Amino acid sequence: MPRPNLTNAETLCQIAKLGSFRAAAERLHTSQPAVSARMKELEQALGFPLFEKRGRRLELTVPARRFVERVEPLLLAVEDAFTDAEAVNNAAGTVRIGMGEISMTWFSRVVPELRRALPRISYEIELDLAVKLQEHLTSGALDIAIMANHLRDDQFICESLGTTRMSWMVSSRLLTDADGRPRTMQSLLQTEPLWCVSRPSGFFGPAQDELRDMGANLDNICSCNRLNSLIEVVEAGGGIAQLPEMMVARQVQAGSLVLVDPALQPLTLEFTIAIHRNQGQAIVHQVAEALTRLGKAATGKA
């Protein structure tokens, strides 16, 4: 009977975490046949089946789930044992970070200092809506996510980085009609396209509620999943949108974008940095800690 080994145990833990042989193979940089072979070896070593068929899916058996619960902390402890002081101080590798376009506005400013703090770290940056970033953080496709609003989920460790304000903006060229007469806010809300961040975003519902409260024509609602493109559309006279003030400061100062109604209270959004609670890589924690410190300084929370 073969003896259990750490590679096979780690592979089973990845299958349990990610939900499939394929995802585990990708995460471990190996092939699906190799993963299958490891599971056969582990079953022989443990003496009980690890999986049972549920329709077209494979589910972990009760003994397999118990094994994963017991071995996961041990694997993390073994990884920590191999992470000595020199490895920590000379961290190297690629860290995958997901964020929205709002976060990118301040992230670009902290990259030079982040590079000085961790000179041997490279980064893969993914821009997407918060709902997608959360999915990728859960699946292990991302190491760190920076997004608006706090993740109310026990599987993540989150920390607030700061806030930004979202205000309803319109192009200054839409403030007057073809005859040069001033247009009222109600005229704009009834006739112009009303732009929101795309429906999967957590911003869509609150934005729609605000428009309804303002008496807007909801038949004119449009959506876009890219804020920079949306800013260009609105600045060109393509309608009204709820935009982050930190991303349109230049346009507001130049006068090309103005508030639809200065009396309207802006929506305040919180930035959150999140990692998975089971994240055991010291490098990822180092980057997250550096980003938290630099992010708070960049957004004025420090």
What does DSSP assign to residue 183? P
List the chain domain ranges.
Answer: 6-89, 93-163+269-300, 164-267
Cβ atoms within 10 Å, residue 55: 6
Residue 235 Cα distances to 118, 127, 163, angstroms: 38, 22, 24
Distance CA 94, CA 264 (A): 44
The fold adopted by the segment(s) 164-267 is D-Maltodextrin-Binding Protein; domain 2 (3.40.190)
What is the structure's pLDDT at 93?
Answer: 83
User: Is the domain defined by 93-163+269-300 classed in CATH 3.40.190.10?
Assistant: yes
Cβ atoms within 10 Å, residue 182: 8
Asked if pLDDT for residue 24 goes beyond 80, the answer is yes
The tokens of 146 are what?
């920076």
6-89 and 93-163+269-300 agree in CATH topology: no
CA pseudo-torsion sign 132, 160, 109, 123: negative
For residues 15-35, average pLDDT:
92
What is the structure's pLDDT at 58?
Answer: 84
Report if pTM > 0.85. Answer: no
Q: Which listed CATH number (2.40.30.10, 1.10.10.10, 3.20.10.10, 3.40.30.10) goes with 6-89? A: 1.10.10.10
Distance CA 133, CA 223 (A): 19
Asked if pLDDT for residue 141 goes beyond 70, the answer is yes
**In which region does residue 225 sit, left (phi positive, over 0), alpha (psi from -120 to 50) or beta (all else)?**
alpha
What is the structure's pLDDT at 104?
Answer: 85
